[in-house]
Amino acid sequence: MMRLTMAVLLVSAAAPLRAADYVIDPDHSTVMFRVRHLVGHVMGQFNKFEGTFSYEKGKPASWKTQASIDAASIDTKVEKRDGHLRSPDFFDVEKHPKITFVSTKISDMKGSRAKLWGKLTILETTKTIPLDLEINGVTKDKYGREHAGFTATGKIDRKDFGLTWNSAVEAGGVLVGDEVKMTLEIEGLLQEKSETKGDKK
């Protein structure tokens, strides 16, 4: 009996941590960015994206996520500027249609905050970046579907990913800043084998 008990404990300890799996709900999520322009800032977002994440409260070792953004869906509310951003000067969306992120680890867990590390790929260049993660909670809607929500913020140097286009200005300096700040408001729906779809409200 003692040997059987020890065997069960060893198997349990070796088993991988599993978490609940969610699909990102694009109707209730946003992927936004902010970059300096001359003496001000331009805000924008990507309107099309998809992804999944695994989450279980109190078990950060089991958390993971992967997501894909449609680069052509960039939207800064100015059609001409968006066309330039889609061109070979920037995202070159015909050759590089997707921006991807795959998580690698969680660190610095403290209360409802943590660091989410992952591999970001833009223009076929991949860099590991940290995102500041805020856990907004888990709840159920009126249809009984479980939602989990997070806010992630971070920044990158766009030149690290090959986004090098710029233009000098007469007064000195350049037109576009190098630092891009990102804010992601993510809400996901728990996936269940017998999931019943209902209207989103």
Q: What is the pLDDT of residues 165-197, one digit of tens each?
A: 988 775 666 789 999 999 999 999 999 764 444
For the chain, give the number of residues: 201
Q: Does residue 167 lie in a domain region?
A: yes
Q: Does residue 47 lie in a domain region?
A: yes
Domain CATH number, residue 69: 2.40.128.110
Q: Does residue 25 lie in a domain region?
A: yes
Secondary structure of residue 174 in the 3-state scheme:
strand
Domain count for the chain, please give it.
1
Residue 111: what pLDDT?
92
- Structural domain that includes position 42: 17-190
Q: Does residue 1 lie in a domain region?
A: no
Q: How many CB atoms lie within 10 A of CB 128?
A: 11
Query: 65-93, pLDDT tens digit by residue?
Result: 999 999 999 999 999 999 999 999 999 99
Closest of 70, 164, 82, 155 to residue 125, by C-alpha: 164
Q: Does residue 12 lie in a domain region?
A: no
Q: Does residue 126 lie in a domain region?
A: yes
Query: 38-66, pLDDT tens digit by residue?
Result: 889 999 999 999 999 999 998 999 999 99
